[in-house]
Amino acid sequence: MKKTRSLRIVSAFGLVGCLVAGLVGCGTSSDASDTGNGGAADRAGRTGYPFTLDNCGVQVTFDKAPARAVSLYQASTEILLSLGLADRMVGTSTWFDPVLPNLTADNAKVPRLADNDPSLEAVLAKEPDLVTSASAHTFTPAVVAERSRFAQLGIPTYQSPSVCTGAIVEGETVTRTAPLGIDTLFQEITELARIFDVQERGAQLVDQLRGRLQAATAQAQQARTGAEPTVAFWFSGVKTPYLAGCCSAPGLYAREVGARNVFADQREDWPEISWEAVVAADPEVLVLADLSRKRIEGDALATKIEFLESNPATNRMRAVQNKRYVVMTGSELDPGIREIDAIEKLAAGLAGAR
């Protein structure tokens, strides 16, 4: 979760209706067009190669299903693993939390190139035939390499549509023009499934996630007894905390469960908010990030709770007095397959669970 993702309405998904029978890609930020017999093959549920995808404004052509993929960001890695593609992955990087428990065994089969960002040389040493990322910063010359550099080397790349849908990308800065929506996640799963020619797996995964989403939103609706509940999302920082603005993944979570983010008037993903403003907003529920990293004061959950409950101003807040805390990992506050986990947690928190 990088503060540099300015106004990062990550995964601004507003692509409802994007999945055609759950199998084919959609046409807002990622229109797909096939050559050869691709059209007929797709109607039969298989990818026709060569297959060309418009991905975040870049035309990418696949001559065959990738067999040596490298994923440069945890959210991207977890989608590939969830599609059962560990045997076609030769490297991962840029980790923030332990991998999802159900993916532990498959993840252990894939080499980790770096906990943080790998060098271009480390990526090229794996001889990849696809490089994916769910972040704008990895595809920059200062970090790994621009997508154009990979194209010069004959290596296709895939950028998560959560980075570019409803957004303007300049280097590693993402300026959002529309709020994040859930369908961009389903778009990403569907497109990757199509690239790897595992459309049935993609459709099944989307169906599973949609079912969990419906159950979570129904739980939140049943628990609601009056006006929409209020919530704030605290990522890190104690002296001046970073709290979620309108348009990133947390904004999506609040909308999905029928809650109101008290800082939805802030356009940045994670603006610095004064404690005076937090106390004045007095949210009913606080979402607290428990970060695996421990770089600054306020990264750890225990530090957050100790501050909230000992500070004479914050300990008067309704969420603190009632201990209405919902704990999320850093990865759950970023776009990716964990969006559904986060919505489930928030729905349970609004229903009264700690």
CATH number of the domain encompassing residue 68: 3.40.50.1980
For the entire predicted model, the pTM comes to 0.83
Beta carbons of 201 and 84 less than 8 angstroms apart: yes
The amino acid occupying position 141 is: P
In a domain, 8, yes or no: no
Last residue of a domain, one of 210, 234, 253: 210
Looking at the structure, tell me whether residues 204 and 237 fall in a common domain.
no
Looking at the structure, tell me whether residues 185 and 246 fall in a common domain.
no
Mean pLDDT of the chain: 86
The amino acid occupying position 240 is: T
Q: What is the spatial distance between Cα 160 and Cα 158, in angstroms, rounded to a whole number?
A: 7
Whole-number pLDDT of residue 252: 95
Quick check: bond before 50 cis, omega within 30?
A: yes
Contacts of 245 (CB under 8 A, 6+ apart): 7, 251, 261, 263, 264, 265, 266, 267, 268, 269, 270, 271
208-239 pLDDT, tens digit per residue, is 999 999 999 999 888 777 789 999 999 999 99
CA 318 to chain centre: 30
Last residue of a domain, one of 210, 235, 257: 210
Residues 78-89 have a mean pLDDT of: 98
Looking at the structure, tell me whether residues 177 and 252 fall in a common domain.
no
Question: Which of 29-33, 49-53, 266-270, 323-327 is predicted with the least confidence, judged by mean pLDDT?
Answer: 29-33
The amino acid occupying position 65 is: A
Looking at the structure, tell me whether residues 227 and 78 fall in a common domain.
no
In a domain, 216, yes or no: no
Quick check: bond before 141 cis, omega within 30?
A: no
In a domain, 275, yes or no: yes
What range does the domain containing 77 cover? 32-210
Looking at the structure, tell me whether residues 197 and 229 fall in a common domain.
no
Strand order in the sheet with 157-159: 112-114, 89-93, 69-71, 130-133, 157-159
Looking at the structure, tell me whether residues 67 and 135 fall in a common domain.
yes
Looking at the structure, tell me whether residues 139 and 183 fall in a common domain.
yes
Whole-number pLDDT of residue 294: 72
Last residue of a domain, one of 210, 241, 268: 210
Number of domains in the chain: 2
Residues 297-324 have a mean pLDDT of: 94
- The torsion region of residue 110 among left (phi > 0), alpha (psi -120 to 50) and beta comes to beta
Phi, psi dihedrals of residue 149, rounded to the nearest 5°: -65, -40
Q: How far is CA 89 from CA 51, 192, 227, in A?
A: 20, 13, 47
More confident residue, 13 or 275: 275
Looking at the structure, tell me whether residues 164 and 44 fall in a common domain.
yes
CA 291 to chain centre: 16
In a domain, 25, yes or no: no
Looking at the structure, tell me whether residues 84 and 160 fall in a common domain.
yes
Whole-number pLDDT of residue 295: 67
DSSP 160: -
Residues 98-114 have a mean pLDDT of: 97
Secondary structure of residue 172 in the 3-state scheme: coil
Looking at the structure, tell me whether residues 195 and 59 fall in a common domain.
yes
Q: Give residue 84's pLDDT band: very low, low, confident or very high (50, 70, 90).
A: very high
In a domain, 7, yes or no: no
Looking at the structure, tell me whether residues 163 and 234 fall in a common domain.
no
More confident residue, 174 or 253: 253
144-171 pLDDT, tens digit per residue, is 999 999 999 999 999 999 988 887 777 7
Looking at the structure, tell me whether residues 163 and 242 fall in a common domain.
no
